[in-house]
Amino acid sequence: EEVVFRGIFIDITERKRREQDLKESRRKLRKEKRRVQSITENVSDGIYRSTAEEGIVYANQAFVEMFGYRDLGELRAAGSEALYVNPGRREELIEKENREGRLHQEEVRYRRKDETTFIGLLNTQRVEGEYQEKTYFDGAVTDITERKRHEQKLRRRREDIEALYDATRSLLRAGGRGEVHDRIHTVLRRVFDYDLINKYLDRETIRAVQTDHSGDAELPPLTAGSASGDSIVAQVLRDGETVVAEDLGGLESDIDYGALRSAAGVPVGERGVIIVGQAEETSFDCFNLRLIEVLADYAALVLGRLGREEGLIEAKTEAEEANQMKSAFLANMSHEIRTPLTNILGFAEAIEEETEGLEPPVEAGDLRPLGTFAGLIQRGGRRLMETLTSILTLSELEAGEMELEAEPVDLGAQACRVAEEL
């Protein structure tokens, strides 16, 4: 029996080639996808893809962890709106993204799952028709919270330095110790958030002169202490340098520091100390302490200047008192010395006149030298009188009570007179 088969032969070589090509394309696509995922999963920035209809369709692990979610499914379930602190800001960014096709370096305040917030730097790019003619937005978010905090810290430091500069100019114009204390407290209260105590050394006793509260912390009472004690102030005065105690409770001391838990003392020269304190056991910012040290150095210079000025004022007062005593002495000398001297000159003139009237022979011997001596007494006395008169005249000139008058002088006669006296 004859068996006959009927069939159709179809050449599927091309179809098999296309299937093979499709398999190869899918293999390459999976490989590329794994490569892209490997890249995106190993970067610290949050990378995502979103559409207008579906929201976020892809996000790397860094993006999910940045917002505090367990996985992409949980994040998508929360919705894109939940990621923004300000919904109005989100609408503004969507509008701009649709209009310009991209976002560049946009600072956005985001909200995490636990309601904490952070600042992100957002960059996006629109991708047209890559798959099923859909429009995607690929974006990256960088957490810049620490950078912004650092920028704010630098800005605050710059403001502190400017405030310190203004304060030092004001401090240099202080006219008294009280003004120095007040201006130190003004700038420290404005620039720093510390509790303040200002103390100075009075001989061997430490006295507190001013306090300033930054909050509700109770400061220690204003009591005097010994410079040889174990307080922070005494230690600063002895060492002449800044002392920091970050745990006042751990100090072996009976000093009452009130509610303060940490404190730092900054010397103001050799006679004063600025104490800054905190109600918590926290460390002090080294930069802030350095600014306080600079302010204290300026205050020490001003206090030194004021001390020298006080010394000059005292010296001036003493000089004026000495000048008054000199004037009183000269006034007394005018009476106590000139009066007897006038009497001596009068008696010398009388003796000279008597000796000139005698005629020889004289019983008491030759009295001619007596007249000569009497003349010398008169001339010496007159010279002494002129000297005293000149001293009195000088004192009147110094007091501004006399006006000089020019008159001719016979220098030859004056020289002969001096020669005769010698």
Q: Domain 38-142 classified CATH 3.30.450.20?
A: yes
Q: Which residues contact 380 (CB under 8 A, 6 or more apart)?
A: 421
CB 236 within 8 A of CB 242: yes
The stretches of 173-231 forming alpha helices (DSSP H) are: 177-191
| Residues 252, 235 contacting (CB under 8 angstroms) | no
Q: Binning pLDDT at 50, 70 and 90, where does residue 360 land? A: low
CATH topology of domain 152-310: Beta-Lactamase (3.30.450)
In sequence order, which residues have a C-beta less than 8 Å from that of residue 419 and are 6 or more positions away? none
Helix (H, G, I), strand (E, B) or coil at 283: coil
Between 175 and 111, name the one with better pLDDT: 111
| CA 298/CA 172 separation, integer angstroms | 8
Name 383's Cβ contacts closer than 8 Å, sequence gap at least 6: 417, 421
- pLDDT tens for 230-281 read 777 788 888 888 888 887 776 666 667 777 778 888 888 877 888 787 777 7
Task: Examine the pLDDT at 411 and tell me if it is beyond 70.
Answer: yes
Same fold, 38-142 and 152-310: yes
Question: Of the given ranges (67-81, 159-173, 190-204, 247-261), which has the lowest mean pLDDT?
Answer: 190-204
Average pLDDT, the chain: 77
Do residues 38 and 31 make contact, with C-beta atoms less than 8 angstroms apart? no
Q: What is the pLDDT of residues 93-137, one digit of tens each?
A: 999 999 999 999 999 999 999 999 999 999 999 988 655 567 889
**Strands (E) located in 172-305:** 195-202, 205-212, 225-226, 243-245, 262-268, 272-278
Which pLDDT score is estimated for 194? 72
- pLDDT at position 182 is 77
pTM for this structure? 0.51
Q: Which residues, including other chains, have CB under 8 Å from residue 379's CB and lie 6 or more apart? A: 417, 420, 421
297, pLDDT greater than 70 = yes
Q: How many whole angstroms separate alpha carbon 229 and alpha carbon 231? A: 6
**How is the chain split into domains, by residue range?**
38-142, 152-310, 337-421
420's CB contacts (< 8 A; 6+ apart) are 379
Contact predicate 220/302, CB 8 Å: no
